[in-house]
């Protein structure tokens, strides 16, 4: 069985989120998604519309997702890959080369983002309306 992992905040879930999870799942047999906790988002200067528990529940309900784990810090990725026997690490291509240090442990794939949509754009649009 080929296992895949990806990470994200997944606030204001949209088609771009669904597309990346669908494509990540297509790379393997089992998809683990690490959803950023509220505490970790504060460290990243992100404020979510929905709390971790709700964001994780939404992601976990998707047919492409086999398991959801919390993302508590930047440093946990190597341990996650090892502890979950991950074969492929997937992130959006706006992170190209940032996670290449994981190539020692698994394949690293950067997928294109969905054009024309982002959580930041949605939040900015809501603020201006």
Active site positions, annotated: 44, 46
Long-range own/partner contacts, residues 113-117 (CB < 8 A, 24 or more apart): 113/16, 113/20, 114/15, 114/16, 114/19, 114/20, 117/14, 117/15, 117/16
Cα dihedral: 95, 45, 117, 25 (round 10) = 50
- CB 71 within 8 Å of CB 37: yes
Greatest CA span in the chain, whole angstroms?
47
C-alpha 73 chain-centroid distance: 13
């Amino acid at each position: 069985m080929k296992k895949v992992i990806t990470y994200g905040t997944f606030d204001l879930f949209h088609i771009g989120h669904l597309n990346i999870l669908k494509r990540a799942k297509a790379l393997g047999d089992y998809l683990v998604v690490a959803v950023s906790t509220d505490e970790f988002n504060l460290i990243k200067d992100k404020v979510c519309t929905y709390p971790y528990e709700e964001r994780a529940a939404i992601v976990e309900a998707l047919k492409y997702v086999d398991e959801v784990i919390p993302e508590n810090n930047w440093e946990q990725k190597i341990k996650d890959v090892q502890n979950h026997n991950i074969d492929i690490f997937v992130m959006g291509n706006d992170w190209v080369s940032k996670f290449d240090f994981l190539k020692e442990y698994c394949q690293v794939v950067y997928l294109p983002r969905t054009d024309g949509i982002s959580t930041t754009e949605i939040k900015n649009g809501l603020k201006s309306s």
